[in-house]
Structure 1
């Protein structure tokens, strides 16, 4: 389930207890204060470590080309998240760049090489869609690909995501995830649109992202336990 870094204590408590397989925490902008930007993430990682049944915690980082990426990683590898999430993925190149950065931080923190998994939003950039096939075998760190429906619609100026180009990108994410041996996660939907989960399963997705704790039960109904079901997102 997606959580924003400025979520209230009540929202955080609900997210931890909603039954999600994982939480995705979005750090938010705060470019003027990199330390403040990641402080909440570190606190949440430490809190999750103290819970016996807490979901895995992924943190969505700044883009690989942003000056904030190094500060994000330096701060997060105090506590160390279960994984990181790339806001966009340009195929194997993005995955390998992030893998190198993680290997350095793991060595500095005394963690096993490869301990930190990588998830990525994919399909939101038209050029990157064509590079997704390169992900197969690129890195054992890859954990999941999540379809970036909103990003693609913005890039193409589409009012909805059911046109031919959107369907092609959606299929590319499913096929890239399958060829890489990881889960393809459908884009999150608003409350009342949960019927989209069944359509996503028919299209080959193995899970979906959630925006609200109340959506987790509906996702688990469509993607039962043991079938690589969804990862919830933080701030999503």
Structure 2
């Protein structure tokens, strides 16, 4: 995984069609604010329908859904809504290291069995580094779960947690390094945080720092990400599912 395109919960049919055709390796479907309301229920239904439709085709991007944190009561409803067809994977805000991956893996295994899917079919992408404790917990990701397929840096979250007015600085740079090292130790890609359209040059620095791909906010960014992070230089190899 080198380019993962983020789609907001209110994305329309045209947005989805463009996203599916833009060449991204994966799409990350967001479900919106962590509130049990009609908007989130509608986002779950749209995500499930898209996954179901994509299952009938081949060659498209992998489909991931960003689920609620494990300490939220919404996590069960999020997962229940997605199995039926079952997504290729889920992205989880992972703030307590390996423990959250292992707890999520149990929940996924139960739903895979209920849906008739192979054990381990659903991969886990971890949204990491959103707070200081999450950065310090990165060292235990290696070997935590063979479902793990990527670490993605939530730099915006860390800036908020540290009350930083802008990115950069010693703490952010330390977190970037920790994520790159944790991903390398776990054998999965490290994905740089998204940038606005026109700021893709920031990914050149991310590649130099050791990131092997990036999140995208706009389909037009996918080609630039693929150019900056060539496939032949993607050194990490995703673990096999289990």
TM-score normalized by the length of structure 2: 0.91
2:31 aligned residue: 27
Given that residues 59 and 81 in structure 1 are in contact (C-alpha distance below 8 angstroms), is that contact kept between their aligned partners in structure 2? yes
C-alpha deviation, 1:228, in angstroms:
3.6
Q: Give the Cα–Cα distance (whole angstroms) in 2 for the partners of residues 53 and 37 of structure 1.
A: 24
Residues 1-236 of structure 1 correspond to what in structure 2 (within 5 A)?
1-29=5-33, 30-33=35-38, 35-228=41-234
Tell me the alpha carbon deviations over residues 142-173 of structure 1, each in whole angstroms, 9 at most, x when there is no partner: 00000111000000011222110111111111
Given that residues 145 and 173 in structure 1 are in contact (C-alpha distance below 8 angstroms), is that contact kept between their aligned partners in structure 2? yes
Given that residues 89 and 95 in structure 1 are in contact (C-alpha distance below 8 angstroms), is that contact kept between their aligned partners in structure 2? no
C-alpha deviation, 1:116, in angstroms:
0.4
Q: Give the Cα–Cα distance (whole angstroms) in 1 for the partners of residues 66 and 232 of structure 2.
A: 25
Q: Give the Cα–Cα distance (whole angstroms) in 1 for the partners of residues 57 and 234 of structure 2.
A: 23
C-alpha deviation, 1:192, in angstroms:
1.0
Q: Give the Cα–Cα distance (whole angstroms) in 2 for the partners of residues 39 and 218 of structure 1.
A: 32
Tell me the alpha carbon deviations over residues 176-208 of structure 1, each in whole angstroms, 9 at most, x when there is no partner: 111111000000000110101110000000100
TM-score normalized by the length of structure 1: 0.93
- 2:126 partner SS: strand
**Unaligned 5+ runs, structure 1:** 230-236
Change (3 A) 1:142 1:89: farther
C-alpha deviation, 1:35, in angstroms:
3.7
Tell me the alpha carbon deviations over residues 78-130 of structure 1, each in whole angstroms, 9 at most, x when there is no partner: 11000000023321011101111101111111111111000011111101111
Given that residues 122 and 145 in structure 1 are in contact (C-alpha distance below 8 angstroms), is that contact kept between their aligned partners in structure 2? yes
